[in-house]
Amino acid sequence: MLGINQEFIFNENRARVGRGSGLYSKDATDGKYALLLPLIEVPFIKETLNTVEIKVASSDTISKIEGSRTLEEAEAPVYLHRDVLRVLESVSGKTLHLLSKSSDETGFTFDGSVSYTPDSAKMDEAWQGTIKITPLTKPQYVDDVYGLCKPTAKFASGIPANVQLETTTGVETIAFTCDPSDATVTASTNASGVVTATVENGAVKITGVSAGSGVVALKATKEGYASWETTIHVVVPQATE
């Protein structure tokens, strides 16, 4: 009677879930890898093997031998908002020490540069773009990357991307939570003559100064964690008589 060897029947789902996967870059301050930016897909560098044909005059057989290897550029889609664009602008064109990390703590390290191209955006849909990684070195497999990486101090609650104050000197208070919960949050603005921002008791207080617009940046930090910054665009209206 024909049978099936039960030893080889299993439900292999450990590689199917990508939670925890990501593209990391090495922090020059402590040599640890930190999340570079949130991606829709995690890109990976592929290697193409070129072959050379060998023909011997005394034989009708053509054989092939391995030739050079070519590292191909990798691309991945990404949501483009101010937080991500600021990161991309800060690293664009620079040589980075990168790590493609899987959820099971395996990974590949390599050097490369990152560039990006915005894609067309439809009305009322999230703007997306494409990042391109140009490799400079061959990816090296690492069996356990856990000790090479550090977590990121991030905002666990939703932060609005846009705020419009009701009056020129109006105030908007936005509560937030962080992960980890004891992360320190600081606020800054690129237009202090238009809007100010202060952090107190788990909330950011945004206050209008004069008509115009500005960007408030909230930065979460904690010892042993990579910092993360999120931004709010603030519109301050003209004073009404």
pLDDT the model gives residue 45: 82
Domains of the chain: 19-46+71-148 (2.30.110), 154-236 (2.60.40.1080)
* C-beta neighbour count of 134 within 10 angstroms: 16
pTM of the model: 0.81
Phi, psi at 47, each rounded to 5°: -120, 130
Torsion angle defined by CA atoms of residues 142, 131, 232 and 33, in that order, rounded to the nearest 10 degrees: 20
Radius of gyration of the chain (CA): 25
Pairing of strands 95-101, 107-118: antiparallel
pLDDT the model gives residue 112: 94
- The alpha carbon of 113 is separated from its chain's Cα centroid by a whole number of angstroms, namely 14
pLDDT the model gives residue 70: 81
pLDDT the model gives residue 34: 95
pLDDT the model gives residue 84: 93
How many degrees, rounded to 5, is the angle at CA 42 between CA 40 and CA 48?
135
pLDDT the model gives residue 49: 61
Low-confidence ranges of the chain (pLDDT < 70): 1-20, 49-69, 241
pLDDT the model gives residue 2: 46
Is residue 136 exposed (0-12), middle (13-18) or buried (19+ Cβ within 10 Å)?
middle
